Amino acid sequence: MSVAPPAAVPAPRGGRRWGLLLAVAVVIGVIAWIAFSGIGNALVYYQTPTELLARGEAAIGQTIRLGGLVKNGTIQRTDDDLRFVLTDGNNELPVHAGIAALPPASFRENVGAVVEGRLSVTGTFEADQVIVKHDENYVAPSEGQLPSQVIDPGS
Amino acid sequence: MIPTLGHVAVVVGLAATLFAAASFALGGRRADPDLVLLGRRAMYVAFALALVASGAMVVSLLTHDFSVQYVARNNATTTPPFYSFISLWAALEGSILFWTLLATGWAALVLYRFRHRAPLLMPWVGLALALGAAFFFAVMTWPGDPFTRTTPIAAEGNGPNALLQNHPFMGLHPPLLYLGYTGMAVPFAFGVAALITKRTDEEWLGIVRRWTLVPWIFLTAGIVAGAWWSYEVLGWGGYWAWDPVENAALLPWLTATAFIHSSMVAERRGTLRVWTHALVIATFTLTLVGTFLTRSGVVASVHSFTQSAIGPWFAAAVVLTLALALGLLVWRLPELGDTRPHGRPVSREAAFLFNNVLFLAVTFAVLFGTLYPLIVEATSGDRISVGAPWFNQVNAPIFVALLFLMGMGPALPWGGTSWRTVRERFALPLLAGVLAVPAAWLLGLRGWAPLATIGLAAFVVVVMGEEVVRGAGARARSRGENAGTAVVRLTTRNRRRYGGYLVHAGICVMAVAVAISATAGSDVTTTLAPGESARLGGYTVTYDRLVVERLASDARVTETRAELTLAGPQSGSLHPALRDYPNSSSLIATPAVRTALGEDLFVTLLAVDPARQTVSLHILVNPMVAWIWLGGAIVALGAVFAAWPDRRRTATVPVPVPAEA
Amino acid sequence: MGPMDRLISGPWRWLVVPVLVVPLGWVLFAGIGKDPREIPSPLIGKPLPAFSATTLDGAPFETDALAGRPALVNVWASWCAPCVEEHPLLLDAAARHGDALAMVGVIYQDSADNARGFLARYGDGGWPDLLDPSGSIAVELGVTGPPETFFVDATGVVRYRHVGPLTAEVLDEQLAALGLDR
């Protein structure tokens, strides 16, 4: 078969590769389906105690990131366990973190914190992770800092 | 004086790049080589100015000149010289300066190397590169002046971000990444030039191959280095979290890899040309988007990025670049049809087409997952984040499919073949792949993803192995060479192909290592009193004592260290620590990692109770992690091999042009 | 020419540009201005926590002393470079408003000597600076790191918390909100 000159003229399309295009369309369709069907469960909503309580029972069991301040005088620690109250000034929620969710050493009262977990039927928020939140006022960020770390290096 | 010099250099650099752009544009339109020469020289000057400005900043950092706001915020009198030096790229304004240095460096290099070649393309290449550099100079002149002064002058600076002082590797990771990012402007510029001049045939693709591979090597090394640093230094036990910053580096890598493959097809077979142009435009645009995501404060990770006035500038640059480049592509769309007839469906071209589609799918998935929180917040006000499981869920099957293509592609001939030939050709590799799965199962591997990965990796490796054996065998027979010589001569006569095979082999190693480390690891979190031990996977970790002291290297830093003894397949002492840096109100954890070829033993100090002297530890056994880094090294090696000129020199005859520099 | 080819060479192909560029542009620009600092201080709208401390000069200090006028509580340290940057603004505010504005400094994780050195070098505005050796005041206020400034109204309610060095704009704006105009 002779080769067409490598310039502007498109080669004659005898029967466009519909088969191939169809295969490509199927592949894209499958991927899109996996992506969009999964996105519902994958979203982690960020809320304050007020917002979470306002949702009532619908919020039970859903993975949520709860942000607030650790209320003064509410921290109770044992070797394997941590309980405290998270408040946003208007409403508050008791939080329980098991040994796998122990917070970093900078965790203390009156500090901003984000806990990721689920609201249980008992009204306690069961945390999978406790992250101490910092404002980076004067320390500029660097590449490589990661969001969801139990150890919270200056972020 | 020196900071002022730096600032002046920046402003003059802006003028030089704008001047260069004008010269290139006019010189291109009028086919005037003198104007083009003028533009080239202006770009050399721009690079020199970027060097001066960078030098001024480095000197300011080394001399702890706190009259410069950037120095006051990122440096202290106690900062060691090495860390002072690398603070050049530690924070926003400095990293833009560093970017400019590299961007003008690449521009000067390519313009110099091509001063006698491709005279029709080069004015437009120069224009694109000059405008790109001009943007960064402009950012430094207006919203992001790295040489901003402060009064009164602080007696002591803040010091570098604690994270940056923790490990000397911070000296390596950003430069590698930035060299990759900035280098991608070169193939983009050639693509733009090809579109403008309608010279969209193989010429620009032949030129661009090596000039894409080299930045690609840096980008790959930078990303792997980042993952390694994240693992070894940040201490959360993993190496990739689909964090927006990580995604920002991955996105251009994905499209660049697709571009490298697509351009092979476009160069050899005259098809997939629109894809190829689109991919190089996407790559460059994504390097800008990546910088925007990292530096502008737009995407909320759990930690906050600093807001800056630079955000809108970058957003505008992304939009403008995409609009112009896409406009060019659309303009020339009629010219970009296939220049040769299509092959049959079961062909290497088809494999490459699917390759493009899959890489683009991953790119879109990652982009979507990263930007979706922005979209949601802008429309409904809800603040969300997209968790890592989603990224893994969507990308894992795509990567598995890509592995499959990696095996199919090289062994399928151009132009197509019959299913019968396919069956014959792939019988042995398929057998190898199928056998590898139960073999891995017997060795203890579980989970569909790792097993599929191993099977496919075996498939790919055998396909490539067969090629090498067949090729070397043919040489050995026809020329009487022995096996070793035959292999060496075979591969060095066609470095593109065999370098590519080595890269693919490295990817297979990484894929298997990632699959195993992601699924076969184990961990435990425990609190220990002195003398107590914890057991995990054959290891015993005993907590001996707690030590609190100031660092010898920097007296402002207090380190709380747990001294542990390790027994098991690896043994010795471990010292995970928490460091208290004065300018950071939280503690930085440094994990203790013991690496062996088969697995890593990883310990992080979570918390300390000084009263009772107890420590809370997170202990992990991470299998095969070392192979991820080794695989990355193989990939880099393979790419270097592929980029190296062949032993028998392929002729690219320079077009005679009046000799000027 | 088939319909596909007509599409590719005809004017409709230009639609690709706005279709791709506009959504991307919207997403990027919509994100700007979003402050990712998600947790506002829960102190806002609440009374300033009561505390007592010793000043750098050795005198006792109670938060009662702030009652009846707008107050500015500035958390700083001698080792904090941005604190140096904002200090002239604080001196200026003190000079301009005098007794109409109560100003208090809280010294964060620092020694008395270093703090005095800072004031000697950059200017002492005459307002009390409180030593906080146990860090309890900082904890009460929820301070994550210096500099931080709390704007308190005349009834003792916290109106605004600024994290990072003050700028002239923020200072003027917040003082005006407290009833103190330039």
What residue of C is the nearest CA neighbor of B377? C31
Shortest alpha-carbon distance between residue A63 and chain B (Å): 10
> Residue A69 and residue C165: Cβ atoms within 8 Å?
no
Residue in B235, B525, B584 closest to A100 by CB: B525
**Angle at which helices B33-62 and B122-141 pack, to 10 degrees?**
30
B280 pLDDT tier (thresholds 50, 70, 90): very high
> Residue A137 and residue C145: Cβ atoms within 8 Å?
yes
**Helix or strand run (H / E) with residue A130:** strand A125-132
**Mean pLDDT over the full length of chain B:** 86
Q: What is the pTM of this model?
A: 0.83
| Concatenated DSSP letters of B171-239 | GTHHHHHHHHHHHTHHHHHHHHHHHHHT--SHHHHHHHHHHHHHHHHHHHHHHHHHHHHIIIII-SS-S
SS3 per residue for C95-129: HHHHHHCEEEEEECCCCHHHHHHHHHHHCCCCCCE
Q: What 3-state class would DSSP assign to C33?
A: coil
Pull the structure tokens for residue B280. Answer: 């190089």
Range with lowest mean pLDDT among A36-50, A140-154, B90-104: A140-154
Cα B199 from Cα B120, distance rounded (Å): 9
Q: What 3-state class would DSSP assign to B396?
A: helix
| Concatenated DSSP letters of B544-596 | EEEEEEE-SS-TT-EEEEEEEEEESSS-EEE--EEEE-TT-SSEEEE-EEEE-
Pull the structure tokens for residue B195. Answer: 């579109």
Cα B587 from Cα B603, distance rounded (Å): 16
Report which of residues A41 and B127 the model is more confident about: B127
Shortest alpha-carbon distance between residue A121 and chain B (Å): 23
Cα B181 from Cα B256, distance rounded (Å): 10
Phi and psi for B44 in degrees, rounded to 5? Answer: -60, -45
Query: What ipTM score was computed for the predicted complex, to two decimals?
Result: 0.78
The pairing of strands B592-595 and B599-609 is antiparallel
- Does B77 touch chain A if contact means CB atoms closer than 8 Å? no
Cβ contacts of A79 within 8 Å, gap of 6 or more: A99, B527, B614
Residues B154, B66 contacting (CB under 8 angstroms): yes
pLDDT at residue C88 above 80?
A: yes
Report which of residues A70 and B630 the model is more confident about: B630
> Residue B234 and residue A4: Cβ atoms within 8 Å?
no
Q: What is the pLDDT of residues B504-546, one digit of tens each?
A: 999 999 999 998 888 888 888 888 889 999 998 889 999 998 8
C-alpha closest to that of B221 among B282, B158, B175, B161: B175
> Residue A148 and residue B241: Cβ atoms within 8 Å?
yes
Q: What is the pLDDT of residues B315-371, one digit of tens each?
A: 899 999 999 999 999 999 888 888 776 667 778 888 898 999 999 999 999 998 888
**Look-up: residue for tokens 């499958």?**
A30
Pull the structure tokens for residue A97. Answer: 């973190």
The long-range contacts involving B285-288, CB below 8 angstroms and separated by at least 24 positions, are B285/B318, B285/B321, B285/B322, B285/B325, B286/B251, B286/B252, B286/B255, B286/B363, B287/B181, B287/B182, B287/B184, B287/B185, B287/B252, B288/B314, B288/B317, B288/B318, B288/B321
Q: What is the pLDDT of residues A99-136, one digit of tens each?
A: 767 776 667 777 778 888 888 888 889 998 887 755 43
> Residue C38 and residue B289: Cβ atoms within 8 Å?
no
Q: B616 - beta bridge partners?
A: B527, B607
Pull the structure tokens for residue B584. Answer: 């950071």
Amino acid sitting at position B553: S
Cα A61 from Cα B412, distance rounded (Å): 50
